[in-house]
Structure 1
Amino acid sequence: MALLPGAFWSLSAGARPGPDFNEPLPPGIVEKGSSVYDFREHRLTSADGQRHYRITVAIPKKEPPEAGYTPIYLLDGNAALATLDEQHLKAMDNATPPVLVALGYDTDARFDVEARQWDYTPKRPDQAPIVNDRHPERRGGGADDFIKLLNDTIMAEAERDLPINTSARALWGHSFGGLFVLHALFTRPALFDHWYAASPTLHWNGYQVIEEANRFQWPSDHPGSALLMRGDAELNHRGPYSSGGSDREINDQLRALAQRMDRVAGFDARFEVLEGMGHGAALAHSLKLTLSNVSGARL
C-alpha cells in the first residue's frame, strides 16, 4: 500500500484543546445511518471482567474489490467514529472504501481513560506494576493481553462473513493508541500489514518501544508499511505524560525511528509532521490522513 503525501487535506484548523473525556458524544454516523455504509456492533468483556468493549464494524455497501475489502482497525473507536461524518464515508465510497473496525469501549463517552491506558500500554520488562501517581486508578501494562484478545477473538468476529483482503489489514492509533501500534508492530508484526501511529507515547517505560524496535524484522513475503505522524504544536499544553523534550526533539526521534524501520527488508516507513497541530487535533487529522492512504479518497 503506497503511503500518500499529506497534502490531501488541510491542516488549517490549528491546535485546539481536546474535548472533555467524560462528555457524552452526540449522535454520530452509526446512530444517524449512512447511505453508503452499513453498521453492526459486537460487545465483549475482557478475560478479567474489568473492561467492556463495543466493536463497531462499518461495512461498505459498494461491491468489494476482487481481493476483498481492506479492513482498518481503529483504536479509541468511540473517538474515531465521532471524527467521521457522512461526507467522509461518501468520499471513501467514491474511491475504494475499506471496512472500518472501531475498537471502542461500551460507554457513551469519547474515551474510557482507565481502560485504554491498561489496554494500550506495554508492561515493564521486569513485570513491575505500572501506576500513575496522579491517577492511581489508571494502571498500565495490558497491551499484550489486548493483542491476544484482538488476535484470538475480535478480528475473527469483526470480519465474520465479510470478503476481506487478509494481506492488507491496517491498524491506526493515537497517543497511547499510537504506542500500542508500535509495540504490536515490533512484537507481533504478522498481525497487520500496514501500521499508522499518531503522536505515540514513546517515552513510556523509559522508551521501551525504542528498544523493541532494535529487534524488528518484517516476517511477511508481501510488502508492509508504517506511517508515523505527530503535530508540531503538541507541547503547548503539557500533560502528565509529557516526556519533557521539545516538539522538535520528539519529532526528530520519530523521524529517526521511521528511517530505521524503512531500512528493514520488505518494509516501507516514513514520518510526517502535522503542521500546526496540537495533541488533540492530531487525532482527527491523522485519522483522515490514514483513511486517505487506505482508500485513495480525498478527505
Structure 2
Amino acid sequence: MTLHPACNHTRRKMLKGATTGALLSLLPGALWSLPTAARPGPDFNQPLPPGIVEKGSEVYDFREHRLTSPDGQRHYRITVAIPRKAPPEAGYTPIYLLDGNAALAELGEQDLKAMDAAMPPVLIALGYDTDARFDVEARQWDYTPKRPGQDAIINDRHPERRGGGADDFIKLLNEDIMKEAEQDLPIDTSRRAIWGHSFGGLFVMHTLFTRPALFDHWYVASPTLHWNGYQVLEEADRFQWPPERRGSVLLMRGDAELKRRGPYANGGSDKQINDQLAALAHRLDSAPDLDARFEVLEGLGHGAALARSLKLALSDVSGATLS
C-alpha cells in the first residue's frame, strides 16, 4: 500500500420497529430483474470539467492524498476540503463522501459559501484516481459486501466487475484513510458523518450495521438493497446501536427511480421499495439515542437523487440551506 500527500442530535425513544422478516414481506417476489432490452447507460468514462478544486474557492482550501489498495488493484484520490473559517471549539464536523469525484462535481462555490455562512464541515471526498465521474469496477468491489466465506460476486452482464470487497474497504478507511485525511485538523470526533448513493448507500448501510462506532451520522441515498439476496437487511436484523452514543440516520430515495430499469432493478415498484425504507427507518428509530428518518425525494430518478441527497446531507451537517 502506498500513501502520498498531494444532525441532528438524538432523543431516547420507546418505539418498536419492523423485523427483517416484516421488511422482506414488503418486497416483490423476484429478487433480481433484468430488462428485456438493455438501454445504453451514461458514459462514466467521460472526463469531468474543471470543478471547485481546480477553480479554487474563497472560503475553502483543498489538499489531496493518493492511495493504492493493499492488493494494488484500486487507486484512490482523497480530496480534503478545509474551511478557512475558524473551527468551533469542539472542532470541525468531518463528512466523508463516497464516489468523491461525482460528489465534488455536484458542488459549486455557492454551496461552499452557504456552508461557510453557517457551520462549515470538512469535506473528505473518497474518489478514485481518474478524471471520470466514477470508476465503475473499483466502486463495485469497494462498496458491496459479501457473506463470510463467500467468493467474489460476479456481475453476469459485466464479468470484469466483481463485488464483495466492502469489509476490505472499511478496514482501509478505518486504519489509513481517516487518519491521513484528518491529520493536523481540529476534528470533532463525536460528529463524524458519511454519505453514499446507490452502491455507496449500500456501503453506508453495511458499515452502519457491522461497524456502528465508526461514524455518528449516516446519510444513505438510493441504496442497492437487493444486493446479494438482501444481505444488508439480514444485517439490519442483528443490528445494535452502541449504548450511550448519540447518532442519526437519514435514508433517502427518489419516487421515480425505476422508470428506467437497469441491471440492478429489483422488480418492485418505487412505492414498495420506499415503504421498505420507511419501515427500516422506523425500526432504527427505536434504538435509544439514534434518530432515524426516511425522506422521499419527490420527482427524482436514481441519478438525480445523487445530487439532491448530497445537498440534504451537507445542509443537515452544516445548518445551511443548499439548493
State TM-score, norm by structure 2.
0.87
Q: Distance in 1 between matches of 2:120 and 2:212?
A: 24
1:222: Cα distance to partner?
3.0
Q: Does 1:70 pair with 2:93? A: yes
Q: Is the Cα contact below 8 Å between 2:145 and 2:163 reproduced in 1?
A: yes
Q: Residue 89 of structure 1 corresponds to which residue in structure 2? A: 112
Helix, strand or coil for the counterpart of 1:115? helix
Q: Percent identity between the aligned chains? A: 81
- Aligned partners of 1:110, 1:129: CA distance in 2, in Å? 25
1:6 corresponds in structure 2 to none
Contact 2:243 2:288 in 1 (8 A): no
In structure 2, the residue matched to 1:11 is: none
Who is 1:212 aligned against?
235
How far off is 1:217 after superposition?
1.1
Aligned twin of 1:35: 58
Question: Which letter does structure 2 place at the counterpart of 1:248?
Answer: K
1:262 paired to 2:301:
no
Query: Is there any run of 5+ residues in structure 2 with no aligned partner, and where?
Result: 1-6, 10-39
Q: Which amino acid aligns with 1:270?
A: R
More displaced 10-residue stretch of structure 1: 256-265 or 125-134? 125-134
User: 1:264 deviation in Å?
Assistant: 1.2
* Mapped contact 1:190–1:220 kept (Cα < 8 A): no
Larger radius of gyration: 2
Shift of 1:20: 2.5
| Runs of 4 or more consecutive aligned structure 1 residues displaced over 4 Å after TM superposition | none
Note if 1:2 corresponds to 2:8.
yes
Residue 291 of structure 1: aligned partner: 314
Q: Is 2:112 the partner of 1:98? A: no
Letter in 2 for 1:269: A
Q: What residue identity is the alignment partner of 1:2? A: N
**1:15-58 CA-partner distances (Å, limit 9, x unpaired):** xx985311100000000000000000000100000000000000
Name the counterpart of 2:130.
107
- Kindly provide the CA deviation profile for residues 130-158 of structure 1, in whole angstroms up to 9, marking residues without a partner as x: 00010000000000000000000000000
- Give the 5 Å matches for 1:219-238: 219-238=242-261
Q: In the alignment, is the contact (CA less than 8 A) between 1:114 and 1:138 conserved in 2? A: yes
Instruction: Tell me the SS of whatever aligns to 2:62.
Output: strand
Paired residue secondary structure (1:102): strand
Number of residues of Structure 1 aligned to a counterpart in Structure 2: 287
In 2 relative to 1, CA 64–19 (structure 1 residues): closer, same or farther, beyond 3 Å?
A: farther
Give CA deviations for 1:230-261 in whole Å, capped at 9, x if unaligned: 00000011110011100000001111111111
What is the CA–CA distance in structure 1 between the aligned matches of 2:142 and 2:87, rounded to whole Å? 32
Whose relative contact order is higher, 1 or 2, with alpha carbons under 8 Å and at least 6 apart?
A: 2
The one-letter amino acid of 1:66's match is E
